[in-house]
Structure 1
Amino acid sequence: MSSIAPVSKLSIVIPAYNEGATIVKILEQIEAVELLSNLAKEVIVVDDCSEDNTAHAVQQYQANHPNLSLQYHKHAVNQGKGAALHTGIRAATGDYIVIQDADLEYDPAEYNLLLRPVLRGVADVVYGSRFMGGSPHRVLFFWHSIGNRWLTMLTNLFANLNLTDMETCYKLFRRDIVQGLTLAEKRFGFEPEVTLKVARVPHIRIYEVGISYYGRTYNEGKKIGWRDGLWAIYCIIRYGLLR
């Protein structure tokens, strides 16, 4: 991939499940961001059959902010974060797609950090790393950090990459590349699956940039657990060996 076309629009895909307490705040932060090169924003919220007020909050925001390009999709049954991302990726029309969690762990003001390698014409995919240093990082769980690093190392082993944070939410893809992948994982297995599959795209150019991380505890709504870590190991081996 020796060159890329000029970038005019960024699609922001937000998978949401019972995030009524934070979804409006994240939409406000996204709307306030001024993207480099005056890129347009397309926001796509995929509600994975929430049982709280997520739907009402998003639809009310949509009605009160007509100048924001905002799509709202809702799954009839809960399927998982990966399934919500599949829906959002299919619906995206921007030149690039970035994933944004519906909580407040990641700062939309840092989209421009991810976009810089793209706008310089050197990157097709950019990951935001929580472990590269230089940005605020909430101190939380020791074993989570060990697990994240171990899963990243195992992914690197199969993908022949040197990523520092495979499990990061902030992944930015050239739309035609990620829409061209056949993705199957419906839960948190999306992270290793998409990483391993995108790494096999011929001549792919993958970058990492350091980002902030304002993590939350389980009492504050964190959902990923140890079973998801075990499934991630299975996915790494499966998609690492499966060509």
Structure 2
Amino acid sequence: MNSVAPVGKLSIVIPAYNEDATIGRVLAQVEAVELLGNLTKEVIVVDDCSQDDTARIVQHYQAQHPHLAVQYYRHTVNQGKGAALHTGIRAANGDYIIIQDADLEYDPAEYNLLLQPVLRGVADVVYGSRFMGGSPHRVLFFWHSIGNRWLTMLTNLFANLNLTDMETCYKLFRRDIVQGLTLAEKRFGFEPEVTLKVARVPHIRIYEVGISYYGRTYAEGKKIGWRDGVQAIYCIIRYGLLR
């Protein structure tokens, strides 16, 4: 148990679309995490017009676990992951914001890995890299990994960074920084857009830490496809050139 007094709050933004098979377990894992420095948690679930039991499961969890501060927002029309993140980021009031997918590909127990640099006062933004080694990583699609690394390299070229995993879900921001950005991309273009824009914040300090990855196949519910890769290239060029 941490013995120090609370030093702030972590807002955990969870975009969800048809995730009734996993959303309950994700919330349970988030609740179980004991954060460094006794940080408190607020959980913001943004349901992007799911057609399954996502809403019922989240609302049932709210009722059964009132000590966990779970806020639930629902889009009346499906807009995309980026749009759900816009809603969640606007609603957050913690000192820090982290993005958590609802599909169990990422482990909430690793929040503290990302929190360490910001709590030490050396970082403003921390990315969790699936490619830095040292943690479990499910072996999946060759072309996905090549595409991910190529998109990261292209982003680095425009942003003058040396990230290893731009497309990672686990991005932790100081709230004032990410809420100060004007974000437009409503689908998976969120990832390159937020990276390129945060890289231009004066005196920004960006860190990476290695994380584990429990990836899904398409049969298990993975949603991103080649069209999203093409859109990501467009976004990298657009926001890389647009200042």
- TM-score (normalizing by structure 2): 0.97
Which residue identity lines up with residue 77 of structure 2 in the other structure?
V
SS in 2 for 1:78: coil
Counterpart for residue 108 of structure 2? 108
Following superposition, the deviation at residue 211 of structure 1 comes to 0.1
Q: Give the secondary-structure state (helix, strand or coil) at the position aligned to 2:73.
A: strand
Q: Whole-Å Cα distance in 2 between the matches of residues 201 and 111 of structure 1?
A: 24
Distance in 2, Cα, partners of 1:170 & 1:214: 13
Report the equivalent of 2:3.
none
User: How far off its partner does 1:204 sit?
Assistant: 0.1
What secondary structure is seen at the aligned counterpart in 2 of 1:10? strand
Within-5 A mapping of 1:119-138: 119-138=119-138
Aligned to 1:99: 99
What residue is the counterpart of 2:195 in the other structure?
195
Q: Structure 2: how far apart are the matches of 1:110 and 1:7? A: 19
Alignment of 1:48 onto 2:44: no
Deviation at 1:7, TM superposition (A): 4.4
After TM superposition, list the pairs within 5 Å mapping 1:212-227 onto structure 2: 212-227=212-227
Query: Matches of 1:188 and 1:168 in 2, distance apart?
Result: 11
Q: Which residue of 1 aligns with 2:139?
A: 139
For 1:7 and 1:131, locate their aligned partners in 2 and report how far apart those are by CA, in whole Å.
31
Pairwise mapping of residues 159-198 of structure 1 onto structure 2 (< 5 A)? Answer: 159-198=159-198
Question: Structure 2: which 5+ residue stretches go unaligned?
Answer: 1-5
Contact 1:47 1:54 in 2 (8 A): yes
2:7·2:38 contact (CA, 8 Å) conserved in 1? no
SS at match of 2:14: strand
**SS class of match (1:126):** strand
For residues 185-207 of structure 1, the C-alpha deviation after alignment (integer angstroms, 9 at most, x for no partner) is 00000000000000000000000
Which residue pairs with 1:73 in the alignment? 73
- Separation in 2 of the partners of 1:150 and 1:29? 32
CA RMSD of the aligned region, Å? 0.7
What secondary structure, in the 3-state scheme, does the structure 2 residue paired with 1:128 have?
strand
Write out per-residue CA displacement over residues 85-113 of structure 1, whole angstroms, 9 at most, x where no aligned residue: 00000000000000000000000000000
Aligned length: 238
The residue that corresponds to 1:153 in the other structure is 153
Give the % identical residues. 89
Report if aligned partners of 1:7, 1:119 keep a CA contact under 8 Å in 2: no
What's the counterpart of residue 3 of structure 1? none
2:186 corresponds to which letter in structure 1? Answer: K
Cα distance in 2 between the residues matched to 1:221 and 1:170: 19
Contact 1:136–1:212 (Cα < 8 Å) also in 2? yes
Does the CA-based 8 Å contact 2:82-2:188 persist in structure 1? yes
> CA separation in 1, counterparts of 2:38 and 2:29?
16
How many Å apart are 1:134 and its aligned residue? 0.1
**In the TM superposition, what is the alpha-carbon distance from 1:67 to its structure 2 partner?**
0.3
Shift of 1:240: 0.1
Structure 1 contact 62–70 (Cα < 8 Å) conserved: yes
Amino acid at match of 2:80: G
Question: What secondary structure is seen at the aligned counterpart in 1 of 2:155?
Answer: helix
State the match for 1:37 in structure 2. 37
1:89 counterpart residue number: 89
Superimposed CA distance per residue, residues 155-214 of structure 1 (whole angstroms, 9 cap, x where no aligned partner): 000000000000000000000000000000000000000000000000000000000000
Alpha-carbon offset, residue 73 of structure 1: 0.1
Deviations 1:117-167 (A, max 9, x none): 011000000000000000000000000000000000000000000000000
Provide the C-alpha distance between the structure 2 equivalents of 1:199 and 1:225, rounded to a whole number of angstroms.
Answer: 26
SS of alignment partner, residue 60 of structure 1: helix
Gaps of 5+ in 1: 1-5
